[in-house]
Chain A
Amino acid sequence: MSEDRLDVRKTYKLLINGAFPRSESGRSYEVTSAKGEFLANVAQGSRKDVRDAVVAARGAQSKWWSQSAYNRGQVIYRLAEMAESRRDELADHVRLAEGLSSKKAQASVSRAVDRVVWYAGWTDKIAQILGSSNPVAGPFFNFSVPVASGVVGVLCEQESSLEAFVNAVLAPIAVGNTVVAVASEKRPTPAVLLGEMTATADFPAGLLNVVTGFTGEVAPTLASHEDVDGIDLGGVDEEFADELAQLAAGSIKRVLRPGPNEDASLRRLRAFVETSTVWHTIGQ
């Protein structure tokens, strides 16, 4: 950054339904770098922002799901392209947020981008891995296919600002869900930036919604929201996760409680997938 010029600072806002509003509550909170220096006043999302995000995610879900798996892969891959082309910016954010060296921040971005690519490739494979043709004892054609659970809430990990976000958020997206993500409370800016990139990556509005703010404040709303089909409790401690899991039971949500720093895996992809089995008669 040039030192003889006053830089133009960015406002970190929410991502809801493809738009970047401030919190409807008008609140923001101060986010600092790992070293404690002021970074930004980030929008402090409210329960109503969560509600709006869920509505947006629900609205986008059938559209996202009805796109071909090939197309969904292209959209996700496009995000990798965007992230790669703005990798320095991302690395800068990660460096400040996590207090890493430039080199380590760059490496983290590389892993994150590669992870996006990995997910992009899953969209049109998952049905072949999780689906099956079932040899029932009768004149029926019977097949099982994985179907997205619907709307998934993701409480993102607190320490890893970008990599964990990518891991947690793109898994449900790759298999056809739409997502309401609550970014790391103290390190939200890389997630916000990646969210901004989705706007130029052909992500349909509402596919990924990112709420920043206090996890403890908004998580119960997300966990108890009856129109949310599944929730990833990766970003909260055990005790809080227990509490949220109880709330999630109210509408029989699918609950994922990943281990600390749990990597991308088939388990993540399976977590928010339903198996739909179709029978059809076979006869002349």
Chain B
Amino acid sequence: MPVIENESQLRALLGGLSGVDAVGAEARAAKLATRSLKKSTKLAALDLAISMVDLTTLEGADTPGRVTSLCAKAMHPDPSDPSVPSVAAVCVYPDLVAHARSVLGASPVKVASVATAFPSGRASLNVKLMDVREAVSAGADEIDMVIDRGAFLSGRVGQVFDEVVAVKEACGRAHLKVILETGELATYDNARRASWIAMLGGADFIKTSTGKVGVNATLPAALVMLEAVRDFAETTGVVVGVKVAGGIRNTKDALRYLVVINETAGSRWLSPDLFRFGASSLLNDLLMQRLKQRRGVYVRPDEFSGD
């Protein structure tokens, strides 16, 4: 793994990355989106997708009560069917981490918390680090930080890198997911460079978006990030995960991501250890499809709890 000592070195490394032809990347993603998953493949993919969900609530109106029901859903997405796997994590704001932790108890479901002045990231580094430390000390297993898009877009890549390094340190044993907010970075070239900055800074995951801006996760952006983690693993031996978040509402979309993972980074990434969906309503759609596959008929949305 290259050690980054100064900004010019980082800049040179980023400059050495191949460009992304937007048309080609989008065409590739669109082509992969035509894959057709049937029968046992589809059933396996549905369970895999469920196990990859970071069940998320990030609203100003969040309450301990809402988080309680979210955690219940996370542990047993379909209480009538114990064969349904639990989701990977619940994702909440830092102040609700402790509550989530207590509800989840010994469950394998992780607690993830957004931090670093989510979603804008517009705060001093000290405030961001404090945010992280509080979430970690409240029991967060995973921290979803945001990069400073303003710094990135104005060319201060060293600052972006330094923040990732600092947050990683503040995370301690907690896993770090670095949100690039690809919608604000605008170009795939930027998404690729930001992916590398995050990975070089110590990210355990790179994540597309906050879910709070106009353009959230897209298939081609995820494709570019999956290429980045693949290339990073080949170059450094360090295996970094990918999380897509925002706008992934139905099974069809989720399965397309699984196909892109499979045919880009490879099957190693087909695991909740290395891929996550940041989502809320997606889960019920996955459950509906799952039940449909088993019953052979389409089912009512009311088969499953609202959250």
A and B touch in the complex (CB under 8 A): yes
Contacts of B24 in A (CB 8 A): 281
Contacts of B186 in A (CB 8 A): 284
Contacts of B26 in A (CB 8 A): 139, 283
Chain B interface SS verdict (over half) = helix
CB within 8 Å of A: which B1-42 residues: 21-24, 26
Q: How far is the CB of B22 from chain A (nearest CB, A)?
A: 3
CB within 8 Å of A: which B161-217 residues: 186-188
How many chain A residues touch B (Cβ–Cβ < 8 Å)? 7
CB within 8 Å of A: which B123-154 residues: none
- Distance in angstroms between the alpha carbons of A283 and B220 in the assembled complex: 13
A6 beta carbon closer than 8 Å to chain B: no
Q: How far is the CB of A281 from chain B (nearest CB, A)?
A: 4
- Distance in angstroms between the alpha carbons of A114 and B182 in the assembled complex: 63
Q: CB-nearest residue of chain A relative to B24?
A: A281
Contacts of B22 in A (CB 8 A): 139, 281, 283-284
Q: CB-nearest residue of chain A relative to B20?
A: A283
CB within 8 Å of B: which A109-153 residues: 138-140
Pairs across A and B, CB under 8 Å, 18 listed: A138-B23, A139-B22, A139-B23, A139-B26, A140-B23, A281-B21, A281-B22, A281-B23, A281-B24, A282-B23, A283-B21, A283-B22, A283-B23, A283-B26, A284-B22, A284-B186, A284-B187, A284-B188
- Identify the B interface with A (CB < 8 A): 21-24, 26, 186-188
Q: How far is the CB of B31 from chain A (nearest CB, A)?
A: 13
- Distance in angstroms between the alpha carbons of A282 and B187 in the assembled complex: 13
Q: How far is the CB of A168 from chain B (nearest CB, A)?
A: 45
- Distance in angstroms between the alpha carbons of A139 and B188 in the assembled complex: 16
Q: Which of A138, A139, A283 has the most B CB atoms < 10 Å from its CB? A: A283
- Distance in angstroms between the alpha carbons of A138 and B22 in the assembled complex: 12
Hey, what's the 0/1 contact readout for A214-226 against B, CB within 8 Å counting as 1?
0000000000000
- Distance in angstroms between the alpha carbons of A282 and B27 in the assembled complex: 12
Q: CB-nearest residue of chain B relative to A284?
A: B187
- Distance in angstroms between the alpha carbons of A282 and B22 in the assembled complex: 8
Question: What 6 pairs between A and B have smallest CB-CB spacing?
Answer: A283-B22, A281-B23, A283-B23, A284-B187, A139-B23, A284-B22
Please name 16 further chain A to chain B contacts, defined as beta carbons within 8 Å, in addition to the given A138-B23, A282-B23, sorted by A numbering.
A139-B22, A139-B23, A139-B26, A140-B23, A281-B21, A281-B22, A281-B23, A281-B24, A283-B21, A283-B22, A283-B23, A283-B26, A284-B22, A284-B186, A284-B187, A284-B188
- Distance in angstroms between the alpha carbons of A281 and B26 in the assembled complex: 11
Q: How far is the CB of B189 from chain A (nearest CB, A)?
A: 8
- Distance in angstroms between the alpha carbons of A281 and B20 in the assembled complex: 11
Q: CB-nearest residue of chain B relative to A139?
A: B23
- Distance in angstroms between the alpha carbons of A284 and B20 in the assembled complex: 9
Contacts of A139 in B (CB 8 A): 22-23, 26
Q: CB-nearest residue of chain B relative to A282?
A: B23
- Distance in angstroms between the alpha carbons of A199 and B186 in the assembled complex: 59
- Distance in angstroms between the alpha carbons of A282 and B24 in the assembled complex: 10
Contacts of B188 in A (CB 8 A): 284
Contacts of A283 in B (CB 8 A): 21-23, 26
Q: CB-nearest residue of chain B relative to A138?
A: B23
Contacts of B23 in A (CB 8 A): 138-140, 281-283
